[in-house]
Amino acid sequence: MIEKSPNVVWHRATVSRKDREERNGHKALVLWFTGLSASGKSTLAHAVEDRLHKMGCHTFVLDGDNVRHGLCSDLGFSLEDREENLRRIGEVSKLMLETGVMVLTAFISPMRRDRERVRSLFPHGDFLEIYCDASIEVCESRDPKGLYKRARAGEIPDFTGISSPYEAPVNPELRCDTGNDSVDNNVDKVIGMLRQRGAIPA
């Protein structure tokens, strides 16, 4: 762990998060989509963003593959590297929250302790864990990138669900049955949760 320099001081912005939320007309939140590879995390996150965008909300999706093209391109897929990957995403999400936007993240994030560590960065209620629940059989039958097939062949080490563990959330804010339910129905569930919590207008 790299120690922070004693010369680094947090600079408080003149325009606050609350100011930005009032202008945007909705609360800033982190929607953390977690689940196995091919469970539908990215599909659901982008579908939710599309619905929110049409409602006039300010949003941005941080997608696992996209982040690894730049910010986390130096990391592999060991449990240690996954932990660092999520630490960085958590810190980026925390910064983006101050802009007043809804941040939607789509990462496998396999270990509970890592997800809880990210959750601890935010005030209570700002981090909403959404479990994209699809069985390994369903995910493997989809396999859009052919990753499960390669993992089964031993070509991909540390592959979640095959040679590396996935710890499902115990008490997520929302569980979406992405293995059987339609994308639209799951989007409705997410939007309903946001309305119930007063994050967006009813």
Say if residue 71's pLDDT is above 80.
Answer: yes
Residue type, 91: E
What pLDDT is stored for residue 137 in this prediction? 95
pLDDT, tens only, 106-145: 999 999 999 999 999 999 999 999 999 999 999 999 988 8
What are the catalytic residues? 109
The Cα–Cα gap between 98 and 173 comes to 22
Tokens of 96: 């983006």
Indicate the average pLDDT of the chain: 92
User: What is the arithmetic mean of pLDDT over 171-196?
Assistant: 98
What pLDDT is stored for residue 165 in this prediction? 92
Q: What is the pTM of this model?
A: 0.91
